[in-house]
Each structure stands twice: as structure tokens, then as C-alpha cells.
Amino acid sequence: MVVLAIHGGAGGDGPWGGPTDLDPARIECMQSILANVGKALEDGKITALEAVTEAVSLLEDEPLFNAGRGAVIGADGKITMDASIMNGKDCSAGACAGVSILRHPIRLANHLLKGNWPLMLFGEGADEAGRKAGLEVVSQEWLATPLRWAQWKKWRDSNLRPGATDEDDNVLNAALDHDIEIGPISEFSHENLLEEIDGPGTVGAVALDKEGNLAAATSTGGMTGKPLGRVGDTPLIGAGTWADSRVAVSNTGVGEAYIRTCAAKRVADLVELANVDLETACNMMLDEVEPFGGRGGIIAISSKGEVCMPFQVTLMYRGTYFKGDVFTAIGPN
């Protein structure tokens, strides 16, 4: 038995209003990934580690998710991306934060996992390690999309607030000098754009391969308007990502709360040490992050083939490949 589960982020308050104009493209992307990568996993052509690397790379390529191309834009008008990956077979791991020139941050994390040391790199050192490893280098202009610039402008307008220092404003104004193309935005209705603007988008994957090995991977652009150098849970092994011989986990949500609870490792420890089932462990973790403002979701699978994808927000883009069937969903079932 093999399993592949993926997510494209969780978010939103209140009841789900149904798909936006952009959601069909997201669903199509997820279905294609699940069918193709799931099939390769089923046929024993790829390992769990390869499956999550490939699945997350493809999610990074979809501009409507907040990772790789189409990642959200930080306070200074720049895109910086974070990713991590873990191989349950040997608990090897790789992670990177603040990547700004790579098409596939998850492939740098995978490269670091394979090299064993260092496990984690940030900023310029991460970019240069990716370049040296021969990973595809892209420009900031290629990474940024009109939708993300529109979201960034909305963030900036709501942050030119009383209390902002001149220095804050200078950063914002300097970033504004970018040549911002927002043409394609007009293709969508104002209501839908507003929905998109508050949307989620971190991506992740967990897989169980024919050998019974698990792996997990997560990738993100963080949050629109994030301060320079901010690190959320996504690149942190044990917070955003975990895989061992029992479970594989990829989280999405307000990262700080997932860090404060070490959420991904927590699920694994609840299963191993408290002897609870995977679903209970996932829900216990979500209950633990909530007091810290950690509303979000999780995808988790076990070596027994259990799959859990609970979330405590309006929606979570998610899908599974399980026994030959592809399933995808956005809102509550």
C-alpha cells in the first residue's frame, strides 16, 4: 500500500463561500500531481522521499500557491522562501530559509538532506548552495505574480498606519518603486480578489512508499508583508515538517504557534509515546496550537496507511492518492 497526501495551505474565518474563480486551477494542479506522483509511487518507481520532493516541486511551480513561483511578497518588496524535508527511513532532514533565487526551494532542502551537513542554511548561503548544486536559478521578477503584487499593495495600504516610523514608510515606498504589473488582476471579480487576498497557500506533501518508508516536505513564501528575515514553522524540522518510521506530517497555519508547540514532532510523539491514533494526535495538536493563535491545518499519514487532514479554519486545499483513487477538497467535507 502506498499513500500520497498534499496540501496547498489552510486559512480563512467563518463558513466557506465555495470555490473562487481561481480555485479550479488549484484543484487541477493538485489532481494532476496526485495522479502522476501517486501512480509512480504505486508502481514502485519512486521512494516516499522522491514523491514528496516531486509533489512539492510541482506545487511550487503553480503560481496560485504560496511557494516557489507565486510566493507572497515581503515588507521590502522581495520574495524570500522557506522549505524543509525529512526522510522517515533514517530521520535525515534538510531545510532552508530566506531563499530568493531558486525556482524550487524544496530541492535545496532535499540536496541538504542528502549531503547530511549542514542540514539547514539561510539567506545568501542557501541561495549560493542551491546555485552550486546546479538547481534552477530564477529572478525575483519571474517569481512574483500580479496577484501577489496586488496582495502586497493591499497589505502596504493597510500598514501605512499611525505609529509607523519614517523608516517603515521608507521601506514601503522604496518597494513601491518596483514596476508593478497588475493587469491580470482585472480578469477576476473584486469579491474574488478579496477572497484570494486573504487566502492561504503554503504547500506540503507526505508519502508512504512500497518499502513502507515515510517522508514529508513543506514549502512556503511566508506571509505577505513579512518583515525581512522572518522565519515561520515551514523550514523548521519538528514544527512545520516531521517524518519518522511511524508518521509523516506537514503543517500549515500561523507558523509562530506551530513553533511554540513544536507541532509536527508533537504529533509523532503523541502517536509513539501516548499511544493515541493518528487522528486523535492531529486533533490534540490543533487544540494545542489554537490558544497561541495557530489556526491552520495538518496533513499526516502513518506507516499503517492512515490519512488525516484536519483543519480549524475555513478551508484547506488538500488531496490524497490512496488505493488508486485521487481525492481533492477545499472546504469542509
Q: Which residues contact 290 (CB under 8 A, 6 or more apart)?
A: 257, 312
Does residue number 40 form part of the binding site for a copy of itself (CB under 8 A)?
A: no
Please report the DSSP string for 156-206 in residue order.
HHHHS-TT--HHHHHHHHHHHTS----GGGGGS-HHHHHHHHT----EEEE
Angle at 71 between CA 54 and CA 222, to 5 degrees: 100
**How many residues are there in the chain?**
333
Q: Which of 133, 178, 279, 292 binds a copy of itself (CB under 8 A)?
A: 292
Q: What angle do CA 95, 265, 110 make, to 5 degrees?
A: 25
Judge whether 280 counts as a catalytic residue. no
| Catalytic residue chosen out of the listed positions 53, 202, 234, 261 | 202
The site that binds a copy of itself (CB under 8 A) totals a number of residues, namely 45
95 vs 150, beta carbon nearer a copy of itself: 95
Footprint on residues 149-188 left by a copy of itself (CB under 8 A) = none
User: Residue-wise over 150-182: b if at least 16 C-beta within 10 A, else e?
Assistant: bbbbbbbeeeeeeeeeeeeeebbeebeeeeeee
Q: Select 91 or 182, whichever has its Cβ closest to a copy of itself.
A: 91
229 in contact with a copy of itself (CB under 8 A): yes
Please pick, from the candidates 95, 101, 216, 315, the single residue that binds a copy of itself as defined by CB under 8 A: 95
Chosen residue from 21, 22, 35, 122 binding a copy of itself by CB under 8 A: 122
- According to the binding rule CB under 8 A, does residue 129 interact with a copy of itself? yes
Contacts with a copy of itself by CB under 8 A lie at: 86, 91-93, 95, 97-98, 116-126, 128-129, 226-232, 236-239, 242, 255-256, 259-262, 265-266, 269-270, 273-274, 292
